[in-house]
Amino acid sequence: MKSNPQNSNPWLHWYIVVTAAATFLLLGSGGMVTSHEAGMSVPDWPNTYGYNMFLFPVSKWMGGIFYEHTHRLLASGIGLLITVLAVWLWCKDSRKWMRWLGVVAFVLVALQGVLGGLRVTLHLDKLGIVHGALAQLFFVLICALALFTSRWWLNFGRDALPRVQDFKKEAARQRGPTGGNLRWLVLFTTLLIFIQLILGATMRHQHAGLAIPDFPAAYGKIWPDTSAAAVAHYNANRTEVISENPITSFQIILQMVHRMVALAIFVLVSVCAGRAWSIGTPGTAPARTAKELEFAGTVPGVPIQRRLSLFWLALIAGQIALGAWTVWSNKAADVATAHVLVGALSLVIGALWCAVAFHRPVTAVHERRTEDRRLPGAITIGGHPALVPNK
């Protein structure tokens, strides 16, 4: 991906930021629909109890209808925002890949609307899982678009990079961990978070309430008894008000897997943060290749990545706390929805870190060199700009 300052458009960037914030609200709205078991409270689509969706009387926005109907209205608003965004990007951004990302965003939001409608009209509860997972990916896309239109991204590697002639010589001087492995670790952790989100969505769409009513134990044990007799005992003694599906051994195991993956994510994010902060520290293992060097010491994205890593770690810690609170509060709707939203933010942070980590500032350096050679009075040696000390 090449950065080009001529695509700098603060209006577009802030429009996307507002759209991302609105999308976050929509995610929360959708979370509340599921948390309140209201997904089927409006039996028809795209109408609402026979009314045009935009003309449904406010006096009838009661009970589960309130959550489902407002979710549909918000989604319509997002659809409009994305339509404008897609057109704007197509007309004004010179980067071909950005224009097509705008088209992808439009297609995704339209697909989301159809999926949500079909889930209701075809009584396909499992579509709710797809709808929820796709919503997370859509949110990641919008946040990425905000990043790609930011001044920071557009100037990435252009002004702050030292003009080094020989990366290999610089690699011998610089010290730092194998930064190239870190980006792959970040990517793996981000993918694991997405899998965790799918696990969570699958759990929520069982409509069986809490499969395990205690935390950190599971039915008082480290690993719960999932035999048929034990599950029958759990169901016989279970009192639920709004989630009346009986629990199954599959659901119990699913929640245990969800808990274990949460722990794995916490460990991985901690390692990512630790390694991000140790980049360029004297005495640590030397960078092995020029590509690793560009991550290890000379890349101006290192400070932002360190901040991202700490924020990511804080989010994951908060997410674990929210998961525990969800259990302790017997899946209170607002707590469970907050858990969904922090999960979404965790995915976004990982995705944005990947975008930064996999960005190729060497390309920006090459562009800068090319520009410098065209400047009048430029000092060059063998056609390359002269070595300039780091500032």
**Binding residues for another protein (CB under 8 A):** 36-44, 49-50, 60, 62-65, 68, 120, 123, 232-233, 235-239, 241-242, 244
- Measured from the CB atom, the residue of 26 and 42 that comes closer to another protein is 42
- Measured from the CB atom, the residue of 33 and 197 that comes closer to another protein is 33
- Measured from the CB atom, the residue of 2 and 123 that comes closer to another protein is 123
CB 284 within 8 Å of CB 278: yes
Bond prior to 46 in cis (omega within 30° of 0): yes
Residue 128 CB, nearest approach to another protein (Å): 12
- Measured from the CB atom, the residue of 119 and 359 that comes closer to another protein is 119
Q: Rounded to a whole number, what is the distance in angstroms from the first to the last CA of the chain?
A: 26
Q: Give the integer Cα–Cα distance in Å for 107 and 101.
A: 10
Residue 121 CB, nearest approach to another protein (Å): 9
Residue 115 CB, nearest approach to another protein (Å): 17
- Measured from the CB atom, the residue of 47 and 380 that comes closer to another protein is 47
- Chain centroid offset of residue 348 CA: 2
Q: Give the integer Cα–Cα distance in Å for 206 and 135.
A: 19
Residue 75 CB, nearest approach to another protein (Å): 18
Residue 44 CB, nearest approach to another protein (Å): 7
Residue 198 CB, nearest approach to another protein (Å): 23
DSSP-assigned states of every residue in 328-363: HTTS-HHHHHHHHHHHHHHHHHHHHHHHHHT--HHH
- Measured from the CB atom, the residue of 65 and 320 that comes closer to another protein is 65
Sequence-separated (6 or more) residues with CB below 8 Å from residue 5: 154, 155, 158
The dihedral through the CA atoms of 24, 29, 35, 38 has a sign that is negative
- Measured from the CB atom, the residue of 105 and 231 that comes closer to another protein is 231
Of 303, 354, 300, 296, residue with least CA distance to 167: 296
11 HSE (CA, 13 A, CB side): 6
Residue 219 CB, nearest approach to another protein (Å): 14
